[in-house]
Structure 1
């Protein structure tokens, strides 16, 4: 990874190396680990890279483990650890409702007057959960969870709501979202 140029970083991690390093700096307080007498800790950058690789590619845990020289269970543990750190450290800092007047002005300049954001949901395919599997089958016939996102006139996320089963209707997800409560 140290010899890759920006194109290699974009192709493999879907971000530039400087963005990766900034992400590692932000996540360091939550992810810093100390070596023990039994074994050295996996370096922070390697753990973030493992998680991002898994999130950015359809590779299996085994394949990602081979890529980084760790076991399958380590890939799973690192992935959950990094995702939790992203949620706790970055979600409120990076995804927040912007100034509505500037967003409306931006949409008006694009030909959409009186628009405060673009809202939509997407289905993220998942494996069938062992319990309540029928609740996760969406209208297209596969198991999924729904991600609802609000973006501003520049396409930047201003709000996300994730975790609803694939069977849930978009209106129900919106009614129960933080965004809906805030707008009321």
Structure 2
């Protein structure tokens, strides 16, 4: 990631990531939180290894990842991942040979550690613990909708039926009428 991109993320996420110092310890700076979380998310390194890299404990790495992920979800996802002009997407899919198509949707399983509660719900058909990430992409492969967090045992159709995307489709929010 280039420095300009990092600084842009820093500017956008700072309001949600600022922490106050306590009598026990100084708060982690926003830059260090962001750098730690991005490093962990971008590499297969362990929490301990990332913590050693940034001079923090492994629990601090976990907390930074969660805080940054929540800040991204709360502040950025709706700005970046969105269905803009549905008719343009439909027209461009038609030009590619897929008439009346508003996107391509699929799910993937993200491996997780076995949860202590309801572990059986998180075992997928391949036999490992996971949560499901279901995404919709436009004609250029850009994410236009993301739904994540369902247990690995849940089928794709059920996840879609319970998604905000499905509810909005049923309400007709993405319907386009041709002139």
- Matched with 1:136 is 122
- Comparing 127-136 with 75-84, greater Cα deviation is found at 75-84
Structure 1 CA distance for aligned equivalents of residues 39 and 96 of structure 2: 35
Aligned residue runs from structure 1 range 62-73, under 5 A: 62-73=48-59
- Whether 2:155 is the aligned partner of 1:169: answer yes
Number of equivalenced pairs: 170
Matches within 5 A, 1:3-152: 15-36=1-22, 38-152=24-138
* CA-CA distance at 1:40 after TM superposition: 3.4
Give the Cα separation in 2 of the matches to 1:156 and 1:18: 22
| Aligned-partner Cα distance in 2 for 1:167–1:67 | 36
Pairwise CA distance, 1:113: 2.1
Q: CA deviation at 1:57?
A: 1.5
1:105 and 1:61 mapped to 2: Cα distance? Answer: 45
| Match among 153, 165, 180 for residue 139 of structure 2 | 153
Tell me by how many angstroms 1:17 deviates.
2.8
**Post-superposition offset of 1:20:** 1.8
Deviation at 1:101, TM superposition (A): 0.5
Matched residue, 1:3: none
1:94-118 deviation line (CA, Å, top 9, x unaligned): 2222211111122123222221001
The alignment partner of 1:149 has SS state of strand
Instruction: Give the Cα separation in 2 of the matches to 1:132 and 1:36.
Output: 37
Instruction: Give unpaired runs (5+ residues) of structure 2.
Output: 171-179
- Tell me, in whole angstroms, the C-alpha distance in 2 between the residues paired with 1:117 and 1:126: 28
Shift of 1:53: 1.2
Normalising by structure 1, what TM-score? 0.87
Q: After the TM superposition, which of the residue ranges 25-34 and 163-172 deviates more from structure 2?
A: 25-34
State the TM-score, normalized to the length of structure 2.
0.89
Q: CA RMSD in A?
A: 1.4
**Distance in 2 (alpha carbons) for counterparts of 1:138 and 1:16:** 37
What are structure 1's unaligned runs of at least 5 residues? 1-14
Paired with 1:132 and 1:107, the residues of 2 have a C-alpha distance of: 41
